[in-house]
Every structure is written in C-alpha cells, then in structure tokens.
C-alpha cells in the first residue's frame, strides 16, 4: 500500500484591478498633447557675432594657407628622384639599409599596403637613429615614377620631399 503525504495547498493570489478615472489625476492625453495655443515660448538668445582675430584679415589668411598647402603638397611638382639600386626593390627586406638624401634608414618591414587588383601599392617601413618612423611607398609596376617618402607625425603620415634614394 502506498501512502501519500498530504501537502498544504498554496493560496492563489488574486490581483485586484483598480480602475482610475481620468478626472481623478492629471490631464487626458488629448488635452496634454492637443494644441499649443496657450503655450508661451521663451525668447531666443541673441546670436553671438564672431570677432575677427586681430592681425591678419581674410585675404592674408587665404594667402598664408595657400603657401602652407604648396609647401606640404608636392604632388604637382615634377619628379626628379634619383634612384641607385643594388638589387630590385622587391628583394629589400627587414634589416637592410636605405639612404635617402644622405641620411641612413633601417628597413623594419616590406609589405603590400593596398592591393588594387592589377597593381599593388607597396610600403617599406623605415626608422632612423632617432626612432622616427617613415614609409617609402610605391606601386610595384611603376616604382621609378611613384616612389614617395612619408614621415609619421603623431598619427598621420605626411609626405616629404626627397631627391636621392640608395639601397
């Protein structure tokens, strides 16, 4: 014979629904978001007029900006880079030395920067004795006409002029 223990039944909680009428508290949604005819908006703040910096006027600033852009941008200048290679540039590897305008750099890496399909943009990572970082970039199918030197400044590579490259 099997004896069953009697368990006490748990009382079921009954939730009481309390209905609130709109009149009891606050406004109805229609009244709250209805028209805004009775609303007064604050006056807008007066616009601040920027004062020109003393010293240079707009034309002088434009001229100065053009001079800086011309100094930084070398893309419109004709290329007169002389290249003296002891081996093909594709054979340059980590640890090799490269001289640019008489200053010696050490190769840190040689890799494909961007693969454009028909051609590849290559980069030689360089550093000097002061541990400044540089990149020598070129396209593998037209190295002589596309060789450019970039210097790392903060987080951005800035193009630098060069006249002679040896490896």
Domain for residue 162, yes or no? yes
Residue carrying the six token digits 């540039």 = 89
| Mean pLDDT calculated for residue range 137-156 | 91
Domain for residue 125, yes or no? yes
Domain for residue 48, yes or no? no
The total of structural domains in the chain comes to 1
| 110, β-bridge pairs | 124
How far apart CA 166 and CA 73 sit, in angstroms, is 24
What does pTM read for this prediction? 0.54
- Chain mean position to CA 76: 25
Residue 147: domain span: 82-166
**Is residue 86 within 8 Å of residue 167, measured between CB atoms?**
yes
Domain for residue 16, yes or no? no
14, two tokens: 């009954």
- How confident is residue 154, by pLDDT bands cut at 50, 70 and 90? confident
15, two tokens: 């939730």
Q: What is the CA radius of gyration of the chain?
A: 37
Domain for residue 123, yes or no? yes
Of 15-19, 25-29, 80-84, 147-151, the one with minimum mean pLDDT is: 15-19
29, two tokens: 């949604």
Convert the pLDDT of each residue in 69-127 to its tens digit: 666 655 555 567 899 999 999 999 999 999 999 999 999 999 999 999 999 999 999 99
Domain for residue 5, yes or no? no
Domain for residue 57, yes or no? no
């Amino acid at each position: 014979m099997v004896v069953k223990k009697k368990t006490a039944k748990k009382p079921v909680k009954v939730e009481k629904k309390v209905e609130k009428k709109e009149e009891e508290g606050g406004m109805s949604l229609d009244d709250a978001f209805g028209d805004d005819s009775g609303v007064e908006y604050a006056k807008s703040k007066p616009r601040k007029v920027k004062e020109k910096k003393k010293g240079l006027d707009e034309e002088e600033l434009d001229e100065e900006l053009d001079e800086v852009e011309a100094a930084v941008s070398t893309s419109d200048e004709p290329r007169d880079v002389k290249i003296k290679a002891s081996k093909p540039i594709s054979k340059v590897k980590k640890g090799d030395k490269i001289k640019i305008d008489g200053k010696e750099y050490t190769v840190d890496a040689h890799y494909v920067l961007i693969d454009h399909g028909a051609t590849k943009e290559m980069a030689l990572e360089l550093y000097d004795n002061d541990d400044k970082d540089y990149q020598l970039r070129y396209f593998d199918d037209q190295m002589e006409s596309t060789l450019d030197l970039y210097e790392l400044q903060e987080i951005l590579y800035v193009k630098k002029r060069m006249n002679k490259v040896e490896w």
